[in-house]
Amino acid sequence: MTNLFFDAFRASPIGIALEDLEGQALFVNPALCSMLGFTEEEMRQKHCRDYSPPEDAEKDWTLFQQLRAGRIDHYHLDKRYFRKDGSLMWGRLSISLLNHGADPVVIAMVEDITEMRLAQDELQQSEATLQRLSGRLIEAQEQERRHIAREIHDDISQKLALLATGLYQLARGPLGSDERLLPQLEPLLAGVSDIAQALHALSHRLHSSKLETLGLVPAIRSLCREFAEQHNIHIDFTNVGVPDELSRYTSLCLFRILQEGLSNAAKHSGASYVDVRLERAPDALHLSIRDRGTGFNPAMAMRGSGIGLMSMKERVGLMKGTIAITSTPKSGTEIQVRVPVAEHPDADQMSALL
C-alpha cells in the first residue's frame, strides 16, 4: 500500500511536496520540479519561503505558523513562485497538516494558474480601459449639453424674445386694431410663448445652473417641482442630512440619474406619483426613486435599444458606487443608488480618469 501511495505521489500531474513543520521539503514530486525548474535535490535544500517574493512568502509563512501551532489544519493561497530561470509563476497552493504518528508532516499541493491570472489581468485592464472611455464619453456629453444650453439661452431664446416683442408691438399698433389681423396675431403670440417655455425647459434639462450655483438639494427640489408641473405628476421629495458641499461629479451623477429616472417614469410607467428620497449615510449618499406605475423587466430593458439605464450604471460605476433597479410588470419601479462621499474623486483624479 505504501508503494502504491508513493507511486501516486510521483505520478500526480499536480505539484506536491511533503514538508516538515519547519517548512523544509522532505520529498518533492516530478510535477513540482518540472513546474519550477529545480531538481528534487535542489528543492530539498530550499525553505518554502525561498520560492516567492517577500510579500507572498510572508502571507504563506503567517498561515504556516498558524497551521504548525494547531490553530488551523489547512489553508489555501494564490501566490507567486520563482522559477529557476528567474521568471514568475502563479500557483494555487493548498496546504494540509497530516498529524498521524509521532512526526507530523505538511502536504503542499501546487497548481499552475499562471495563464488564468494573466487572463484575469488582461480582463481587468480591458475593463479599466472601457471605464476610461465611458468616462470620456460622459464628459463629452456634458460638455455638449452645456454648449447647447448656452446656445439656446444666449442666442435662440434672445431671438425668440425679439420676435415676441415685435409681434406684441404689432398687435398693440395700428395694425392690431384690424379685426381681420388681430385673430391671426394672438395665436402666433401664444405659439411663441409656448416655444419659449419649451426651450427654457430644454435648456434647464441640458444644463442646470442651479446645480452649480445653489447645490444638489435645491437643484433636485427645483427639478422635481418643474417636472411635476410639466407632466402632471405628483413628486414627493425628501432629503435627510445631505451636506451642502459636494463634489461636482457626485452632484452631477445623482442629478442626471434622477432626471433619467423621472423621464422613464413619465414616458413608460404611467405613474401619477413618484417618491424621491436623498439621504446621507455614514460614508455615502443614497438616492431612491420609486414610482407606482406599470413597471417593466429590467433585464429586458438593458438588452433593448435604450441607453438610459446603461448610462445610469456607467455614471454610478465611474463614482465607484452601486445601483439596483427593482421592477416587475404592474407593480412599479424602484431605483436605489449609493455613491460614496469620502471616496469620490476630486477634480484632478476625475480629469485623470477621463
Percent of the chain whose pLDDT exceeds 90: 29
Query: Which pLDDT score is estimated for 191?
Result: 81
Q: Which of 72-81, 177-186, 292-301 is modeled with the greatest confidence?
A: 72-81
The pTM assigned to this predicted structure is: 0.51
C-alpha cell at 104: 507530523
Q: Which residues pair with 78 in a beta bridge?
A: 92
- Helix or strand holding residue 2 (H, E): helix 2-11
CA distance 158 to 169: 16
Q: How many C-alpha atoms does 215 have within 13 Å on its Cβ side?
A: 8
Check pLDDT > 80 for residue 199.
Answer: no
CA distance 323 to 339: 9
Residue 276: pLDDT band with limits 50, 70, 90 = very high
Residue 190: pLDDT band with limits 50, 70, 90 = confident
Residue 194: pLDDT band with limits 50, 70, 90 = confident
Query: Which pLDDT score is estimated for 353?
Result: 38
* pLDDT higher at 311 or 325: 325
Spatial contact of 50 and 64, defined as CB atoms under 8 Å apart: no
Sheet (strand 88-98) strand order = 25-28, 15-19, 105-112, 88-98, 74-82
Residue 3: pLDDT band with limits 50, 70, 90 = low
Percent of the chain whose pLDDT exceeds 70: 79
The predicted model gives 330-335 an average pLDDT of 84
Write the CATH number of the domain with boundaries 2-112.
3.30.450.20
Query: Which pLDDT score is estimated for 289?
Result: 93
Query: Which pLDDT score is estimated for 1?
Result: 39
What does the chain come to in residues? 354
Q: Which string of b and e fits 329-342 if b means at least 16 CB within 10 Å?
A: eeebbbbebbbbbe
The CATH homologous superfamily to which domain 209-354 belongs is Histidine kinase-like ATPase, C-terminal domain (3.30.565.10)
Cα–Cα nearest to 78, from 90, 87, 88, 67: 90
Query: Which pLDDT score is estimated for 81?
Result: 94
CA distance 333 to 49: 55
Residue 198: pLDDT band with limits 50, 70, 90 = confident
Determine which of 27-31, 105-109, 112-116, 315-319 has the lowest per-residue pLDDT on average. 315-319
CA distances in angstroms from 23 to 60, 74, 215, 298, 332, listed in the order given:
10, 14, 61, 53, 61
Query: Which pLDDT score is estimated for 158?
Result: 75
Spatial contact of 264 and 308, defined as CB atoms under 8 Å apart: yes
Check pLDDT > 70 for residue 305.
Answer: no
Spatial contact of 285 and 341, defined as CB atoms under 8 Å apart: yes
What are the tens digits of pLDDT across the range 119-154? 888 887 876 666 667 667 667 776 777 667 677 766
- Domain ranges, ordered by start, for the chain: 2-112, 131-207, 209-354
Cα–Cα nearest to 198, from 157, 167, 163, 233: 157
* pLDDT higher at 294 or 102: 294
